[in-house]
Structure 1
Amino acid sequence: MRSSIPGSATSSGARRRGVRSPAARAPGSPDRPSAAFTGVLRQPGPLLGALVLAAVAGMAVLAPVLTPYSPTRNDLVHSLEPPSGAHPMGTDLLGRDVLTRILYGARLSISLGLTVQAVSVALGTALGLLAGYYGRWVDDVVTAVTTVVQAFPGLLFAIAVMAVLGPSVTNVLVALALVGWPTVSRLVRGETLAIKEQLYVEGARAAGAPDVHILLRHVLPNCAGPIIVVATLGLGGTILAEATLSFLGLGVQPPAPSWGSMLADARDRIWDAPWLMLYPGLAIFVTILALNLLGDGLRDVLDPRLRE
C-alpha cells in the first residue's frame, strides 16, 4: 500500500541513496560553497577586484623576474630620473628604481597583511566562540577586554604600541593584530549567541556531544561566511595601517621597500619629482579598492539576509 503522505516516497528514497534532505542541514550553512564563490565572480565589481588582486600578487611574486634592479642598492648617477624606457616609473633620490621598490613593497604589504589577518582571525574567533558559547564570567572578561581595546582609535592604539615596542616588521605585526582581533571577536560572539540556541545545537548537546565537537562542527562552520568577509575587508585596512605607520617612521625601516616609507621620502620632492608620490599612492589605492570590491561581493553572497 502506497503512503498517502505527499513526498514520503521521495524522502525515503533520498535517505536510501544517502542524500540529506534540506531540513537536515544546519540553518545558515550554504548549500554549495563553491556555487557561492562562483556567484561572486559573476558580478563585475568583485570580479574586477579579484583580477586586480591576482595581478598585484602575481607581480609581487615575480618581482625578481619582472625587474633587473635591486630594491635597496643605491645608484646616485641616476638620481631623480623621470619615467623612461629604462625606468618606467622613474628613480628616487638615491637612484633606486621606483617600479622595483613598488613590486617588492607589494610583497611586504601583502604578506604582512595576510599574517596580521590570520593572527587576528584566529585570536578573535577563539575568544568570540568561548564568550558566546559559555557566557557568564568568560563573556564578561572577553567583552571587557574588547571594549577597552576598542575604546581607543585603532591607529592611535597601534602608534602607542609601536612607541613602546619600537619600529620593526615584527612589532608592526603585533600592533596591528592587537588592533584587529576585537572586531572579529565581537562578530563571532554575536553569531555564536544566535547559533547556540538552534535546534540542531540543542540536539547535539542533548546527545552528549562534547563542547569542542559542537563548537567546531556546528557553530564555527556557520560563522565562516561573516569571518571571511571581515577578514577580506580588514586586509585592506591592515595594508593602509602598515603604510601609515611606515610613513610616520614607526613601521618598516629603510632601506626595506615599503609603500608608506616611499611616500614619506617623496614629501620634499612633490613638485620637482611628482612620480615619487604618484605611483606608490596609486599602488595603495588600487590594492585597497580591489579588496573592498571583493569583500563587498563576498558579503552580498555569504550574508543570508542579503541573499534573501
Structure 2
Amino acid sequence: MAPITIASGWSIEARRPLWAGIALIGLIGGIALLAPLFGDPYHQDFVQGLSPAGLPVGPTSAHPLGTDTLGRDVLARVALAGRVSLSIGILAAFLSLALGAAVGMFAGFYGGVLEAAGMRLTDIGLALPTTLAGLALTALLPAGLLRPVAIITLLFWAYPARLVYNETLRMRRRGFVEAAVAMGEARHRILLRHILPHLRSLLLTYAPMNAAAAVMMEATLSYLGAGVPLPTPSWGNMISEGQGALAFAPHLFLAPAAFLMLTTSGLLLIAEGLKRIHPEGVRFSWLAL
C-alpha cells in the first residue's frame, strides 16, 4: 500500500490558488493604476469612435476595446472604473472589517450590556436585505464617491462582528486568557496581546472574501444608479449602460463584466489559498452564518 502523505500548508498545491489570485488582482490593479496611459475616458471621438450611422464601433487599433455610444474609449473608461470600483470596494471592506472586528471583540470579551447591545445590533444587521437596505440608505446620504463606501460599511460590518464575537468567546475560555485575567493584567492589554493575535487567521482569511463581496456590492449599487454618480465610470454603471446596447455593441457590456468577474475571482482565489495555508480558517465563512 502506498504511503499517505499530507501536504503542508505551504506546499505548491496549497499556494497555487493564492498565486493565481494574486496574479489576477495584480493584472487588474496594474491596468487600473495605468489608467491615464490609455487616454482620456471622457473624450468623445466622433471620427474613429462612431460608425457612419452614429453607433459605437468594436475593437480597432485606435480603440482596442471599442467605444461607447458617445464615442468614448471603452479601455480608458474600464481602466478608470477599475480605480474607482477597487478603491471603493477595498476601502469599504477594510472599514467594515475593522468595525465588525472591534464590535465582536469587545462584545465577546467584556460581556454584559456591551455584549447584549452589540449582538442585538449585529442581529439586525444580519437580518437586513442588503440590496434593499442599500437603496434605502442612498436616500439618506449625500451623493458622491463616499456614499457607496458608507453604505457598504454600514451593511457589511455585522458579518465579521458575528464571526469575531464567536471566536472571542472561545478564546476567552482558554487557560492563558484566564491566567492573564487572574494575574490582574489590564483588559485592553489582554485583548491586544492575547486575543487579537489569535484572530489573525480568521481576519486574514475573511478579508479577501469581504473585499470580493464589497466590490460586487459597489457594482450592484452603481448598476442600480445608487452608487458612483455619472459621468464617473464604475464597472456597475458601465454594465448598466452596456445592457441596453447588447444587440449592436456587446463589448460595452462584456468589457466591464469581464473585469468585475476577474476581480472577484482573484479575491476569492486569494481567500482559498489563505484558507489552505491556515486550515483553521476553513470553518469561517460569512456565507455560512
Using the size of structure 1 for normalisation, the TM-score is 0.83
Deviation at 1:176, TM superposition (A): 0.4
Cα distance per residue 1:196-236 (max 9 Å; x no partner): 11111112112221001000011011111111222210111
Distance in 1 (CA, whole Å) between partners of 2:40 and 2:94 is 30
- Identity within the alignment, %: 34
Pair 40,111 (structure 1): closer, same or farther in 2 beyond 3 Å: farther
Distance in 1 (CA, whole Å) between partners of 2:261 and 2:238 is 14
Letter in 2 for 1:185: A
Q: Which residue of 1 aligns with 2:165?
A: 189
Q: Which residue of 2 aligns with 1:231?
A: 207
- Residue of structure 1 aligned with 2:130, choices 128, 140, 154: 154
Alignment of 1:251 with 2:227, yes or no, is: yes
- Residue of structure 1 aligned with 2:15, choices 31, 36, 43: 43
- Residue of structure 1 aligned with 2:42, choices 55, 59, 72: 72
Contact 1:270 1:276 in 2 (8 A): yes
Distance in 2 (CA, whole Å) between partners of 1:246 and 1:205 is 48
Using the size of structure 2 for normalisation, the TM-score is 0.88
Alignment of 1:217 with 2:193, yes or no, is: yes
Q: Which residue of 2 aligns with 1:85?
A: 61
Q: Which residue of 2 aligns with 1:59?
A: 31
Unaligned runs of 5+ in 2: 1-7, 51-55, 284-289
Pair 220,206 (structure 1): closer, same or farther in 2 beyond 3 Å: same
Deviation at 1:54, TM superposition (A): 1.1
> How large is the Cα RMSD of the aligned pairs?
1.9
- The structure with more radius of gyration: 1
Cα distance per residue 1:240-291 (max 9 Å; x no partner): 1111111111111111111111111112211111110111111111111111
Distance in 2 (CA, whole Å) between partners of 1:174 and 1:116 is 7
Contact 2:238 2:253 in 1 (8 A): yes
Deviation at 1:168, TM superposition (A): 2.3
Cα distance per residue 1:120-174 (max 9 Å; x no partner): 1111111111100011211110011111122111122111111222442111111
Q: Which residue of 2 aligns with 1:291?
A: 267
Deviation at 1:177, TM superposition (A): 0.2
Distance in 2 (CA, whole Å) between partners of 1:292 and 1:144 is 30
Distance in 2 (CA, whole Å) between partners of 1:229 and 1:157 is 26
Letter in 2 for 1:43: R
Distance in 2 (CA, whole Å) between partners of 1:124 and 1:225 is 16
Distance in 2 (CA, whole Å) between partners of 1:190 and 1:261 is 38
Unaligned runs of 5+ in 1: 1-34
Aligned residues: 270
Distance in 1 (CA, whole Å) between partners of 2:141 and 2:13 is 42
